[in-house]
Amino acid sequence: MSDLPACPACQEEITYPDRENYVCATCGHEWPMDGSEVTEDSDAKVVRDAHGTPLADGDTVVLIKDLKVKGSSTVIKMGTRVTNIKIVDGDHDLDCRVDGMKIMLKSEFMKKA
């Protein structure tokens, strides 16, 4: 048995040192050798709706104004419920489906339902 620590993410013992980090060969999780585990949520971007409420993956939101879909003549009406949102990086923070269309929306035009 090796004296390397088990992976904190998947508890597998197949780990190896890489510069100043340990790496799990099974799941790819990396953590510092000095023991100061950095949580993934600490550097995550906090996305907020129009009223300042934090949003998370899987939340349901409601549009607060009519939005034109770029490149189409379609308009998504105010009050439309959007379920199971996904937070993404970029100019448009939400990835979702509305009326069968996969689109990206800005959180500033939403409120949490």
More confident site: 75 or 10: 75
* Helix and strand counts by DSSP (H, E) for the chain: 0, 13
**29 and 65 both lie in a single domain:** no
Query: Residue 19: pLDDT above 60?
Result: yes
Taking the mean position of all CA atoms in its chain, how far away is CA 24?
A: 22
**57 and 68 both lie in a single domain:** yes
The answer, as to whether pTM is greater than 0.75, is no
Q: How confident is the model at residue 38 (pLDDT cuts 50, 70, 90)?
A: low
- The CATH number of whichever domain residue 14 belongs to comes to 2.20.25.10
Q: Which domain holds residue 13?
A: 1-44
Cα–Cα distance for residue pair 58/83, rounded to 1 Å: 7
* Number of domains into which the chain is organized: 2
**In this structure, what token pair is assigned to residue 108?**
């500033």
**72 and 99 both lie in a single domain:** yes
- Chain segment 60-96, per-residue pLDDT in tens: 999 999 999 988 899 999 999 999 999 998 889 999 9
Cα–Cα distance for residue pair 25/87, rounded to 1 Å: 28
Could you tell me whether strands 86-87 and 81-82 are parallel, antiparallel, or unpaired per DSSP bridges? unpaired
